[in-house]
Structure 1
Amino acid sequence: MSVIYGRVVSYILSEYFGPVVEKVGTYLFKFKSSPLLYIKRGTDLPLSKIKESLCILIKYGLVTFKPNKNENIANYTLDTEKVLLIIRYPKYLNLAKKQLGDESEMIIEELLQRGYWTASELVLKVFERTSKTEVAVSLSQIKDKVIYLITSKYLTRVPYATDENPVPRLQVKLEELHSLPNIDIKVLVAHQANSTEEFPDKDIYWTVNFDRFHQDMRDQLLVAAVVQKFDAMTGDIFSLFLKQMYIRTEPWADVSNPVPALEIKDILKRQNNQQLLAFFDQYLNIIEQDNSKLIRKAGEASGGSYQIYLKEGVTHLIWELIEQIVTEKFDTKAARIFRLIKSKPYIEPDLIQQQAMIPAKEAKRLSYQLYEENFLRIQEIRKMSSNSGPTKNFTLFYIQLEQVARMVLEMCYKTLFNTFTRRVHEKFVNKRIIDKKQRVDTIAMGMRSQGASQEQLADIEEMITPPEKEILERIEKVVKKLNTVELEIDDTLFLLKTYLMYG
């Protein structure tokens, strides 16, 4: 793992959990896996602070532990990938809100904030929050939402201790991962009246299943690519194929099992979507003949069955992403050279200038520039002459996509760290004005709660001068832009990691 990757992890831990937790997390990142006393020696923190930090990190699933050779001592390991997922939390909430509704968003938000919780406590907390909104929601409705999230695998059970060893092994049986908890509405109502009432599921804890959200995010990427290339109706058909795929195929399989086209037609008939039904075969034929090869015919039965090539679909998106990066980093001529080399397993420099129709000098410069930036690789081949003369070397350019993807991944980490650093710089330089604004807002909030008049509130707000207001507006715009960049970088990170996962 690179230094810049470690800096990104350290910043996220510092931003969300504070400097003490960040110090413990950074030590674990550096030394991979360590027992408690080694962490104390390496961080020079009080033992109580280290224990508290480890408890926090374990609670949020960012640190795992297992016994070392001495069964009485635990080795702690930082899950860096889960640390990076923290910046993706807003996307999980947005996806839950759009696809599953407001109550589901609240359920996911509570779990993200707390790490894990019992289903009964979750229902009560969300009910408390919804009671403060304009739309009233009953306990049974929220219970149904929780059950739906569990059955749909958006929530998963937290592993529990299966032995009484000094360092317990946390496990959960496969059948228990999404088995429904006992949520008794009568007990919930009784608990509201008397908080000492115990829940029947008090020892069963649930957390967010990030993998399930990542499936939806991958599907959204593929559907969006189809819509962008063709139209919304083509995207609707492809989306239906994806949904039916899950019935018969593992979510992260490279290639789906065959999905009958007649099955998709039956769904469209039930939806009474006459427009899609009328042109279904034409739309399906368009997707099948596309060079991305997302869908291919699997059999010659009546109506035909089709397979979805998920790995190839993601790979196609990666190629497009890297071509776009080459265009923006260099120019369109460099992108033309990159596409040409992509179409050939290996190609000589002389053929590049001929087939790309770029002047020889410029083609050579751009090719070696792409090589220096690690977008291209070189293979040298020695050819022995028939007589005793010198050997002749041939230089061939080629692209190793996985290596390029890892290099772009590192670029993303560097850009992400730069956005973090810029945000910290803006807040540090303007700390005095930001602190003043927070104090004024606190005073105004206190006076508003005491029933202060509009004139009094206006006097308080005038403590911020017009030049200071301009500076605050500028800071807000810069921070908002940096937040947007952060989310966009995370989109690229998600695509790259999905591709590397398929390998």
Structure 2
Amino acid sequence: MVSPHGIKLAVYLISSYFGELNAKVCDCLLRRGTQTLHQVVSSTELSRKNVKNCLLVLIHHNCVQAFAIRQPGGFGEEAKIITQYMALFDNIIHKLRFPKFIEIVSEELGKECEEILEWLLQHGRLSLSQIIVKYKQASKQGDSSADAAQDSFNRLVNARFVERCPAPDPLLEPPAAEETAAKKRGAKSAKIQAQTMEQQALAAAAPMESMRFLVENIWNDSVEKADKRTTDVKCGMKRKQEDLESNTKDPATGEKEVLWRANFEEFIRRLRHKACVANVKVRVNNDAAIVLAATLELSRHSETKLRIDNSVPQSINAIYDEVIKREGGLGMDLERIRASLDDLGCEAPLMEIDETYSVDLKNIIEQARIEEVESIVLKRYGREAYRMFRLLSKADRLVETDKISDTTFVEKKDAVKILFKLWKDDYLEMKQKYTRLCFCI
């Protein structure tokens, strides 16, 4: 569920980037959930043409995902295929993080890769031929710029900063048919069936992992298509509507082209890892930060999806080899590394033969979030509110008002006012227990 404040922020971002009409369509999808074209038209009171154009723009910029559902017809009628649209809230909010994404690529891969990423973030989706044309326009090096574009693009894909776009409108089978197939295939398929319709649509639209970052055998065709293009959008200009409508086809041949986009999942993984290391460095010590950074670097290469609970288990030898490559880690031995892993909350393995460790990322992130909220409470409500909020965050349970007042040395009358203010602003939860008011985070 998206909070009302989150919806307001998302709609504001869409309005800032794409205008009021697109913001109105986005607001409808965020507030009402998945909708058909007819339902969006009825809710927004916009013309059918305007709604279609808005959905086209939002899909192209990865803010909306379309999917089709096959619905069985009545007696003697054929099945109907109905297209539905859902807003991708996380992708919309990622627009606030675009400068951070660009900074990551600039530091790791250089200026040329940074330019390609900027084009993808600006235009949402681009084919290789479009990227080559834009690279030639920016570099003015003639044919040699195609090779430079290939090298820069390959580096972005190898680092998983760029991926193939999902299918524009995957087809979902009726629930009855899926249930029958799930029973035949077993428990794993039954688990898939338990997913929501939106989750199934995203899974169906996502390219296979083997194809997601595949660039081979398409460069020569893309270079030829780039040479045939006579006009394209100049850097810094918005894409025209007719260009959006034909973005999956080459204008010269009419053939479908592979579209590419920024891989938000990889950028968020990098930012999460960076934030975890910075927090551990301040809260624990520098050794623990070095070991955590090494463990996360090893995990990054073996993760297929963004992990939010625990990192991928790694052997102590692999962690050691990665630690000594890092600044400040050369002098660390296995005992210091084990001590740092213990400081990170990793449980020691039962058998030394298979000595592997997995870091509890969820706990690190939770601690960082609490500290951030504590600083906000301190600035906004004062030191007394900060002490009470910190007491509740450490207790991690319901605490009676009298006990909060006594422990934090705040007069009960003032404590009640502060607690009610924090509760009203959604910083705390309040429950009544045995006729007494209790609060928790």
The question of a shared fold, defined as TM-score above 0.5 by the shorter chain, is answered with yes
Please name the residue that 2:264 is paired with: 210
User: What is the CA-CA distance between 1:49 and the residue it aligns to?
Assistant: 2.7
Residues 267-323 of structure 1: per-residue CA shift (max 9 Å, x gap): 355x496x5232455764664454xx4545445638954321111111111221222
Supply the distance in 2 between the matched residues of 1:19 and 1:366 (Cα, whole angstroms).
Answer: 39
User: Residue in 2 aligned with 1:176?
Assistant: 211
Cα distance, 1:129 vs structure 2: 1.9
The residue that corresponds to 2:279 in the other structure is: 225
Aligned equivalent of 1:326, options 377, 394, 404: 377
**Kept after mapping to 2: 8 A contact 1:341/1:397:** no
Q: CA deviation at 1:264?
A: 3.0
Q: In structure 1, what is the Cα distance between the partners aligned to 2:45 and 2:432?
A: 52
Residues 241, 73 of structure 1: alpha-carbon distance in 2 compared, 3 angstrom cutoff:
closer
Do the aligned partners of 1:118 and 1:202 also contact (CA within 8 Å) in 2?
Answer: no
From 83, 86, 107, the counterpart of 2:92: 83
Question: Does structure 2 retain, via aligned residues, the 8 Å contact 1:151–1:180?
Answer: no
Cα distance in 2, alignment partners of residues 163 and 3 from structure 1: 29
Shift of 1:398: 4.0
Q: Is the 8 A contact 2:66 2:168 kept in 1?
A: no
Q: Aligned residue for 2:178?
A: none
Q: Is the 8 A contact 1:296 1:306 kept in 2?
A: yes
Equivalent pairs, count? 379
The one of 299, 310, 329 aligned to 1:245? 299
The answer as to whether partners of 1:323 and 1:338 remain within 8 angstroms in 2 is: yes
**Residue 118, structure 1, aligned to residue 127, structure 2:** yes
Range moving further from structure 2, 106-115 or 23-32: 23-32
Distance across 1 between alignment mates of 2:64 and 2:285: 44
Contact 2:68 2:83 survives alignment (8 Å): yes
Quick one: structure 1 residues 300 and 123, their matched pair in 2 at CA, closer, same or farther if it must change by over 3 Å?
A: farther
- 1:56-78 deviations in whole A, cap 9, x for unaligned? 12211222223454724423333
Please give the secondary structure, in 2, of the residue aligned with 1:74.
strand
The separation in 2 between residues aligned to 1:367 and 1:170, in whole angstroms, is 46
Query: Which whole-Å CA distance do the structure 1 matches of 2:111 and 2:433 have between them?
Result: 62
Higher helix proportion (structure 1 or 2): 1
Matches of 1:317 and 1:145 in 2, distance apart? Answer: 35
Q: Aligned-residue CA RMSD in angstroms?
A: 3.8
**Are 1:341 and 2:392 counterparts?**
yes
Q: What is the rounded CA distance, in whole Å, between the counterparts of 2:140 and 2:123 in structure 1?
A: 21
Q: How far apart, CA to CA, are the structure 2 residues paired with 1:366 and 1:46?
A: 49
- For 1:431, the equivalent position in structure 2 comes to none
1:277 aligns with 2:330: yes
Distance 1:52-1:340 versus aligned 2 partners, 3 A rule: closer
Tell me how far apart the structure 1 counterparts of residues 171 and 88 of structure 2 sit (CA, whole Å).
25
Question: What is the distance in 2 between the residues matched to 1:31 and 1:233?
Answer: 49
Separation in 1 of the partners of 2:293 and 2:108? Answer: 14
Any unmatched runs of 5+ in structure 2? Answer: 72-78, 173-200, 231-249
Tell me the TM-score normalized by structure 1.
0.64
Change (3 A) 1:28 1:349: closer
Q: Shift of the alpha carbon at 1:157?
A: 1.6
* SS of 1:308 mapped into structure 2: coil
Q: 144-153 or 313-322: which moved more?
A: 144-153
Give me the whole-angstrom Cα distance separating, in 2, the residues matched to 1:113 and 1:246. 27
Amino acid at match of 1:148: R
CA drift of 1:217 comes to 0.8
Tell me if the contact between 1:327 and 1:335 (Cα under 8 Å) persists in the aligned partners.
yes
Alpha-carbon deviations, 1:350-372, whole Å to 9, x = none?
Answer: 43344334455544554444444
Specify the SS of the correspondent of 1:254: coil
Structure 2 partner of 1:397: 438
| Equivalences for residues 38-53 of structure 1 within 5 A | 38-53=39-54
Percent of aligned positions with the same letter in both sequences?
21
Q: Deviations over 1:194-230 (max 9, x none)?
A: 558979x952221111111110110111111123346
Moved more, 236-245 or 44-53: 44-53
| Greater mean alpha carbon deviation, residues 148-157 or residues 302-311 | 302-311
Question: Which structure has the larger Rg?
Answer: 1
Contact 1:376 1:397 in 2 (8 A): no
Q: Which amino acid is the alignment partner of residue 297 of structure 2?
A: K
2:104 is the alignment partner of 1:92: no
Shift of 1:121: 3.3
